[in-house]
Structure 1
Amino acid sequence: MRVAAGLIGIECGPQGIALAQVERREDGSPLLQRCEFRAVPPAEQEAALKALVQEHGLQDMPVNLLLHPADYQAHLLDAPEVAADELRDALRWKVRELVGNSLTDYVVDGFNLPEDAYRGRARRSFCAVLDKARMQAGERLVRHAGLRLQSIDITEMAFRNLGLLAGAEGINLGLLRLRSSEGLICIQNGSELYMSRRIEQGLDQAGEDFANVILEVQRSLDYYEGQLGKGYIARLLLLPMKRLGEPTLAALSSGLAVHVLPLRLAELFPGQPAAELDDAAQAFCIGAVGAALRQEAG
């Protein structure tokens, strides 16, 4: 079966750089051709990415650059009454009071949440605010490596792509990532992202007692089912973790009123060698994989 041109997802974080390459079969199903993490400090990531591109002959491939969660602010705002092509400019005006410096120092973008969210109340927009200097640094990194920057994405949308591949069509599906200091839960139905919420409790705070983490997650689930009025959540997928994966899964499964399952690359990409990574490597790479799964509308 012929394979269509692929897309590379890249995420740079404080501990290293992750790269994933996804190509599409004729039927649209994805092939995970490559998935790697290089543990290098930020000052060395530009050189590391260039070496990785040369090593695998990836020059001039299109890239979806994923912003690390620490690199942007996320806001939920009342949706402006404007046409879709005017949304970005309208959101810039709305975030003026939320940003301390001049808006000229920032890039603002966003999207409207589905019309049936929030039980018919005022429609909401998800807005991301990025320091312009950080965006320019990302552009330089991609260009220096010999790649082509096609798009820049946020973690919430990368998770949406993972959820869609994991079977979100027609059901309410949640994805949960827990890190040392914080977490993120996203809930979608099909390709529509309905809710995204940062969780203040991380693994460092949890220790051996996951009660506070469970409480934060359950509040998010209750908010989705109650305030948004979207009904019960069929599954909550726990993304790969660098540590404490099994005890976290066990604690969530026994403490939450939802079916909790681990999300593993080998199940998203069955029989594909690039997906056979240990949990820590998957945790570092999962965002880049979600970015590489992006498909342009139309």
Structure 2
Amino acid sequence: MKIARLGEPGQEVPVVIVADSTGVERTYDARPLTAEIDGDFLAGDGITKLRAAVVRGELPELAGADALRVGTPLSRPNTVVCIGMNYAAHAAESGAEPPAIPVVFLKPNSTVAAPFDASPIPPLSAKYDWEVELGIVVGRQVSYLDSVEAAASAVAGYVLANDLSEREYQLPGAAGQWTKGKSLPKSTPIGPWLVPAADVDAGNLRLRSWVNGEPRQDSNTSDLIFDVPTVIHHLSQYMVLEPGDVILTGTPEGVALSGRFPYIQDGDVVEVEIAGLGRQRQEFFRAGTTAKEAQ
């Protein structure tokens, strides 16, 4: 089962995508059950109710779904929490030792963007970088969890994300602050789908990225230094996690920061993919020009 939101910005329709008995995927309108896919929906056991409604045949098929724009699968996350350098090989290419405890930073929820919308490069940016990441969607409020085992029940599902980063703003130098390098408009495309936790083996997912069709990253979440339950348990000791929060778990090696590849340029196309969670495609344009001009 895949949960998505389809339609123009501000007019997205919540849908659920399931395969029928012949294996053909069908898209069902979820509005008889909920107006939005958000924290309230998740906290109210919305995924279980949505699955039951599909089984009972209570949702109508959405006509013309294939022609609709794909929005973010969540209407707007409350908080985007990120784990840095969570793959040893990426830490090495960044010039850092693998961390002994999770490296944590935040991105504003204003950075969240749809998975296929055109993506702006900041006007003064020279080092804009891609990062394919597994995103955890929090389904219930948690704080001060007493064990790693208790953390698993906090996961509503998973999303694909691209944690776009301006390295000159992020790392030591004239700017040198992670918040500056990670807060840029539309720098966190997520989706195309939210896949329920029960349908995902988060510890064994292939992650890949491409720039202009050329391979960049190719790894597996089995290589995470801190796995999903460990990350949630750790974060709960320092902040309240709420339904609808998204946690990005880090990126593997193969980014431009490695020095092996050029940074994103005007007109580049970046694609990221996680097995079972879908694929994104962003065409980049220098901010100050319109997306139409960039095409």
TM-score with structure 2 setting the length: 0.28
Question: Which protein, 1 or 2, shows the higher relative CO under an 8 Å CA cutoff with sep ≥ 6?
Answer: 2
TM-score with structure 1 setting the length: 0.28
